[in-house]
Amino acid sequence: MALFTFFFSLLFLFSISTANAQSFIGVNYGLVADNLPSPSDAAKLLQSTSIQKVRLYGADPTIIKSLAGTGVGIVIGVANGDLPSLASDLSVASQWINTNVLPFYPASDIILINVGNEVSLKAFSCFFSRKIRKLISSGLIQILLSNDLNLVNQLLPAMQNVQKALEAVSLGGKIKVSTVHAMTVLGQSDPPSAGSFAPGYQAGLKGILQFLSETGSPFVINPYPFFAYLGDQRPETLSFCLFQPNPGRVDSNTGIKYMNMFDAQVDAVHSALKSMGFENVEVVVAETGWPTSGDNNVVGPSVENAKTYNGNLIAHLRSMVGTPLRPGKPIDTYIFALFDENLKPGPSFERSFGLFKPDLSMAYDIGLTKTSSSGSQTSQSPSLGKSATSVGWCVPKEDATVDQLQASLDWVCGQGIDCGPITPGGVCFEPNSVMSHTAYAMNLYFQKSPENPTDCDFSQTARITSDNPSYSNCVYPRAGWSGDESLGGALNKYVTSDKAIETNGSECSSFLSLPLFMIIFFFVLPISHHMNF
């Protein structure tokens, strides 16, 4: 009875989280451009997507009003230049709330006020590699530096006054107050478990963290794997940054293997918070993205890389897998940006982060539109309705090495794909071999969008076959397959010769595999991740 109740509770929680699976995907709405669509058109665009939160860098009244009644959560910002007056005078903070919040709330769902943006940003932090520092110092990468220590010191008093102003109008707790930090706030980020804040900032940060803890507000950060790649342009680093199959990087302290840079950066922040005694403070990603174009001397910006990064990021978020240090806990993430901003200063890639063009068309499709089939299938096991196109199964190539297969297996199962059937006790666990397990995982990932052959590439170690690799009770799903086809000859490549072929075997039960996967993920994986970095 207790076991049944436990399974039922897991399924209940899963159904709730799935129903709200899009709530943590947001987008930045910048205005440094002269060709943007009207706020009302932008609001209609947002409503046509699965984006449910938008971050503004200021508090533009026209945009806030245009989002009224849409259900889109709105983050507004206080300009850095307003910090001194807000910090010194509570009445100024009250006036700011009276002007920028009260006329619109609650029709416009304002959820967070960021007091200042990257006020604590410091040049040449240990977070950046030597090459990144060189790019910064040469002017190729331009970042806003807050050299005014007085401004940094006024950050907490300004946040406190904004909080008091909200409480005075009974909005304390309904609208959170925080501030946005650059990743340079970290003094160390590698390995993630050793993440810590820069020594020169820890004293001032402690008061801010105490404020966030007391008010239940998030620690807001801007991780950019793109900039990490600029400092280390090896092919394996690009795959690590783009959520593509890669060997992974193991934390030498914990043994946890990281399969993507985003998780590593976010967990470095989690570790830094823990080191200060504030591990329960939530982390929110205010900005992350990848540019579609850039100057000739900058490697990395491209439409393909931007589509891959943002598409895989969204799939990662929708999977609800969380990060290795926060498994099962999704992270509110705001992608940069809604539109290109053609007037932004700096290198050309700074003007090329937009998900949409000024004419409201997509810069590239990553499944954000509500009518997009890719968007509806990204986070879950593939829909296998007969209306889908039948193109075959994805299986490993015969010459793929064990290391390549293991890397692909680790990556796929880290994307939220249900790998329960290939875990001990699962219907596809036997034969217990890397080849067999990887074949099942590769195919399950591919079937999310079988019309896209690149999803069966895996660094050129996989191929599409028309031979059904299913065997016994282990059914390899395929879009459009009704389950009544004969089992093909491909299965001998993935199972031992003594495995009986049962053409009438029952399909893998999603009802049983879901609790099994959740149990393994939440209780076994945190223990089994202790490996060598």
Which residues are tagged catalytic? Answer: 118, 287
Which one-letter DSSP state was computed for residue 218?
Answer: P
Measured CA to CA, the distance from residue 335 to residue 287 in angstroms comes to 6
Cis preceding-peptide flag for 103 (omega within 30 of 0): no
Cis preceding-peptide flag for 106 (omega within 30 of 0): yes
Backbone phi and psi for residue 58, each to the nearest 5 degrees, phi listed first: -130, -145
Instruction: Find the length of the chain.
Output: 533
Read out DSSP for 80-102? GGGHHHHHH-HHHHHHHHHHHTT
Write b or e for each residue in 165-180: b if 16 or more Cβ atoms lie within 10 A of its Cβ, otherwise e. bbeeeebeeebbbbbb
- From first CA to last CA, the distance across the chain in angstroms is 42
C-alpha dihedral (181, 338, 310, 333), degrees to nearest 10: 40
Which amino acid makes up residue 174?
K
324 to 237, 248, 254: CA distances (angstroms)? 19, 13, 10
Q: Contact at 8 Å (CB) between 490 and 465?
A: yes
C-alpha dihedral (122, 127, 130, 136), degrees to nearest 10: -40
Measured CA to CA, the distance from residue 465 to residue 485 in angstroms comes to 14
Q: Give the HSE-up count for residue 511: Cα atoms under 13 Å, Cβ half-sphere.
A: 2
**Which residue bears the tokens 């009003």?**
65
Show the tokens assigned to 70.
């849409």
Measured CA to CA, the distance from residue 527 to residue 170 in angstroms comes to 45
Q: Contact at 8 Å (CB) between 192 and 264?
A: yes
- Phi-psi map region of 457: left, alpha, beta (phi>0 left; psi -120 to 50 alpha): alpha
In this structure, the strands spanning 110-117 and 333-335 are unpaired
Three-state secondary structure call for residue 478: coil
The Cα angle at residue 134 between residues 130 and 140, in degrees rounded to 5: 135
Listed in sequence order, the residues at least 6 apart from 8 whose beta carbon sits closer than 8 Å to its beta carbon are none
Backbone phi and psi for residue 425, each to the nearest 5 degrees, phi listed first: 95, -15
